[in-house]
Structure 1
Amino acid sequence: MEQMLAEIDGLRDRLNSLRYLQGDKIAASFELEYTYESNRIEGNTLTLLETAAVIEKGLTIGGKSLQEHLEAINHAYALDYIKELVRDKVPFAKPELLNIHKLILQSIDNSNAGKYRNVQVLISGARYIPPQPYLLDEQMEGFFNWYLINKDMLHPVILAAEVHERLVTIHPFIDGNGRTSRLLMNLILLQHGYPIAILKGDSDNRMKYYQALEDAQINGDKSNFLQLVALNVKEVFIRILRILGQTDL
């Protein structure tokens, strides 16, 4: 992992030296892909082109549910929100987390948007059982305390992955935990000058993602999940650099 992080930081430095070549269209393309893949992980069936049509042109896709349309639109709004937090250098705390979740579920489930759950939930297909609702306040307080203690101590990629895993393991919301956790992961990456991590939603990569999370939740082994996130960040760096003409990668 140390070597991987060193390689990632080398790629970050290389990209920083080429900032003058980067345009808004490159960022917009990766952000659209991220929205598509994050929703795809959760079962949204909009294609990448359909996601673009919904977000960029406001089109309605025949044969797709209203919820799938809202998931695409909401995720784009939530991504804009975390970019605003980065731009304005707003420290991450509970209000920001609840705002991210509220954006994810707006007009889908307004009664639960931006609120911790008050019922027990199960994760479909998983052995891990999230904590009972009466434990959430204490566990979320511990989550924020852990973040404050470690935010300046851990490598940003490890911090981002840890926050993602810890939040989705607590599973504080009735729905939208995965998308919210991935947005939080990317908020931290963006705060430290890294690109957004785009975890893939195809069947093979989705299963690797779920298995890595389950290894952490059931066995206490986070190594596969940390490796998965770090590798993803590295791959995104390489993709961007190749677009900018760095052919040696």
Structure 2
Amino acid sequence: MTEYRPPFTITNEILSNVSSISEKIGCITAISSLEAKPHLRKNNRIKSIHSSLKIEANSLTLGQVRDVINGKTVLGEKKEIQEVKNAYTAYEQLSEIDPYNIVHLKKFHGIMTKYLVEESGEFRLGEEGVFDGDQCIFMAPPARFVPQLMRELFDWMKMAQGDIHPLILGSVFHYEFVFIHPFSDGNGRMARLWHTAILSKWKPIFEYIPIESQIEKFQNEYYEAIAKCHVVGESTIFIEFMLQQIDKILDDIFVQLRGENEHLPEAVKKLLEVMEYDIPYTSRELMEKLELKSREGFRRNYLHPAVKLNLVRLTVPDKPNSRNQRYVKI
């Protein structure tokens, strides 16, 4: 019996992106240990969860997602809040995933869809399609074929992991998984989680790189790439798209790590250490965190240099002295 191989072509663009990503990962690792920065890790994980759920129409804001994860009361739909809790539980166990184990896939689908889906942790029994209004634009393979298709996909991954670069393998899996649509719900979330798990086994730093947030920025292009692959019958276009997005998100990580650069003034480094990303702070709150008394000293030594270096932004940039002014780490 011929072994199954998902159809795709390794193009020059794919090879170029693999080379660029590998080089950037090496540079990021040399600059700083991302794994050793808990604030950065947690913020990136929250971004991953918020973006992955937003792609699936979860309406909670980034701040609300952060509050749910931090155990605060959030006014919102019970289902959406549960989606956040489930996703956080799954992402927190990311390092425990064996991405080549189909039993792990079902287990983590059970975590991701707990209390939300009747067939949680099990392959779908019914037929699934993607609709644009009343028009079916894609029909997934019949449910009776799902177990066989998933076995073939995982068998191929196990066989190919030593020969095909993880960056390519992860993208192929992502597309094939979406095509098979093995679960009644949660397929997009699981595809993105598993893609990250595959990359994390190659380079653990990927646990803390929010690829999902980059996909969410280019959500239309993401679905267009998938649709084009459905038409041509292979995943090359999707591989190229995903590698482009991974390459771009690594540029953002460079910006994040600038705030940790040892060449920054000590006062600026201290300011950045007490700030979480995307959280607006008043000057009084920041002074309290830094245990400072002098407002002038705070502005001169801490705040103004950070703003000048484009590491902190003003929420009311046109009115620097506004009573409503807040400061956000970027």
After TM superposition, the score normalised by the length of structure 2 is 0.68
Q: Runs of 5+ in structure 2 lacking a partner? A: 1-13, 262-308, 310-330
The worse-fitting range, judged by mean Cα deviation, of 151-160 and 168-177 is: 151-160
Mapped to 2, the partners of 1:2 and 1:51 lie a distance apart of: 36
Give the one of 204, 209, 229 matched to 2:222: 209
The offset of 1:200, in angstroms, is 4.3
The offset of 1:237, in angstroms, is 1.7
More strand by share: 2
Give the one of 96, 99, 103 matched to 2:111: 103
Give the one of 179, 188, 204 matched to 2:189: 179
Do 2:131 and 2:138's aligned partners in 1 also have CA atoms closer than 8 Å?
A: no
Mapped to 2, the partners of 1:56 and 1:234 lie a distance apart of: 30
User: Larger Cα Rg: Structure 1 or Structure 2?
Assistant: 2
After TM superposition, the score normalised by the length of structure 1 is 0.89
For residues 84-103 of structure 1, the aligned pairs below 5 Å read 84-85=96-97, 90=98, 92-103=100-111
What is the count of residue pairs matched by the alignment?
A: 239
- Cα 1:71/1:157, change in 2 over 3 Å: same
Which fold has the larger relative contact order, with Cα–Cα distance below 8 Å and residues 6 or more apart in sequence?
1
Do 1:39 and 1:71's aligned partners in 2 also have CA atoms closer than 8 Å?
A: yes
Do 1:117 and 1:174's aligned partners in 2 also have CA atoms closer than 8 Å?
A: yes
The offset of 1:148, in angstroms, is 1.1
Give the one of 60, 66, 76 matched to 1:52: 66
Q: Give the aligned CA root-mean-square deviation in angstroms.
A: 1.9
The alignment status of 1:80 with 2:92, answered yes or no, reads: yes
4+ residue runs over 3 A deviation = 19-22, 199-202
The offset of 1:161, in angstroms, is 0.8
* Partner SS state of residue 228, structure 1: helix
Q: Runs of 5+ in structure 1 lacking a partner? A: none
The offset of 1:210, in angstroms, is 0.8
Give the one of 154, 162, 182 matched to 2:172: 162
The offset of 1:211, in angstroms, is 0.9
* Partner SS state of residue 74, structure 2: coil
Quote the residue 2:291 is aligned against: none
For residues 1-249 of structure 1, the aligned pairs below 5 Å read 1-20=14-33, 22-61=36-75, 64-85=76-97, 90=98, 92-109=100-117, 111-125=118-132, 127-193=137-203, 194-195=205-206, 196=209, 197-200=211-214, 205-245=218-258
Q: Which amino acid is 2:140 matched to? A: P
